[in-house]
Structure 1
Amino acid sequence: MKQQSKEIPPFAFDESSDLPLWVQLRNRMVYLITSGFYKPGEKLPTVRKYAADLRIAYNTVNKAYMGLERDGYVTAVRGSGVFVNDSNAIMKPAPEVDALVEEFVRGCLENGMAYDDIPKMVSSCIRRMKKENEQNQR
């Protein structure tokens, strides 16, 4: 008997966010996995179903699924679907990295930044650094 996936919970994208739609979707799915909505071993809805239900491009959902797989939240099984991994398989940042991020956020807040502006600044910095790195590799 073929395993059925759960219905897709409602989700609204933040159009004003600097985060691309696929990152917002990936983050939402991480929450659904870590909160227990999707359980280990459970099959996720297909990329096509997510795209149709959320009225977004297939490639956007596919990229979110690829990010989930890269980070260890799910495993794609060719011909069978995408399944949630056991939480022990999920990569967690080292405590040292977590402490660095927390220190960084506190520093930004102490310098007058708002919480909502910090991710925008980080995204901008990452884009700039990637671009510089790509130019240096040429």
Structure 2
Amino acid sequence: MGQKEKKITFEADEDSTLPLWVQLRKRIAYLISSGFFKPGDQLPKIRELAADLSINFNTVNKAYLSLQTDGLVKSVRGKGAFVTDLAALQNNEPSNEAEALMDECLCTCRNLGLSYDETVSRMHVRAARLKMKEAAPARRPDSNVIVLFPEDDGRTAGKGA
């Protein structure tokens, strides 16, 4: 509790086409990446920040949820949102090969004219579609039999678990 509460300053850009929650999310992400908020620091409570900035609670909540989805913050029920230690998370990654592939993908999408945010948004949609496809039951060829666990394929049915 000894941590002095840091205030987030934010001024909405009325001329921007970005929704207010995206502008706020970008501001908080900048404050994290610039070191204003350090790993483990608690962000202001959603209701308090909404009141301080005179914006809707749902707008702040949406920005926080986006930060959590991207791994910048971790929400602890009943306690608040805390800045994630990205360096520690990156050190736990199994290889740099995945990171190199992601960099290549981002550069390719950038060359196609997509912003990083557009690329991330499209990747979220693509990943969701792939998850749904992988979760769908598999149908045996030339059969009406649906295999719920393709690795099992029914060959071990009736055998001891």
Determine if contact 1:4/1:43 at 8 Å carries over to the other structure: no
- What residue is the counterpart of 1:16 in the other structure? 15
Tell me how far 1:97 sits from its aligned partner. Answer: 2.2
Letter of the 2:111 counterpart: E
Matched-pair contact (CA < 8 Å) for 1:40–1:85: yes
| Residues 16-61 of structure 1: per-residue CA shift (max 9 Å, x gap) | 2111100110111111111101000000000011111111000000
User: Which residue identity is paired with 1:11?
Assistant: F
CA contact (8 A) 1:76 1:83 kept: yes
* Structure showing the higher helix proportion among its residues: 1
Give the whole-Å Cα distance in 2 for the aligned partners of 1:73 and 1:42: 11
Identity in percent: 49
User: What TM-score results when the alignment is normalised by the length of structure 1?
Assistant: 0.68
Alignment-mate amino acid for residue 110 of structure 2: E
Within-5 A mapping of 1:55-74: 55-74=54-73
Deviation at 1:98, TM superposition (A): 2.1
1:36 partner letter? G
Contact 1:43 1:84 in 2 (8 A): yes
Unaligned runs of 5+ in 2: 91-98, 123-161
Counterpart CA distance in 2 for 1:5 and 1:83 is 12
State the secondary structure of the residue aligned to 2:51: helix
**1:94 is paired with a residue of what secondary structure?**
helix
Q: Does 1:53 align with 2:52?
A: yes
Which structure has more relative contact order (CA 8 Å, sep 6+)? It is 1
Instruction: Count the aligned residue pairs.
Output: 111
Alpha-carbon deviations, 1:91-131, whole Å to 9, x = none? x79111221233134xx9xxxxxxxxx79xx6xxx8xxxxx
Indicate the structure (1 or 2) with the bigger Cα radius of gyration. Answer: 2
The runs of at least 4 consecutive aligned structure 1 residues that moved more than 3 Å come to 1-4
Match of 2:159 in 1: none
Paired position in structure 1 for 2:83 = 84
Q: Over aligned residue pairs, what C-alpha RMSD do you find?
A: 2.9
Aligned to 1:113: none
5+ residue gaps in structure 1?
Answer: 109-117, 127-138
> Is it true that 1:98 corresponds to 2:87 in the alignment?
no
2:55 alignment partner, SS class: coil
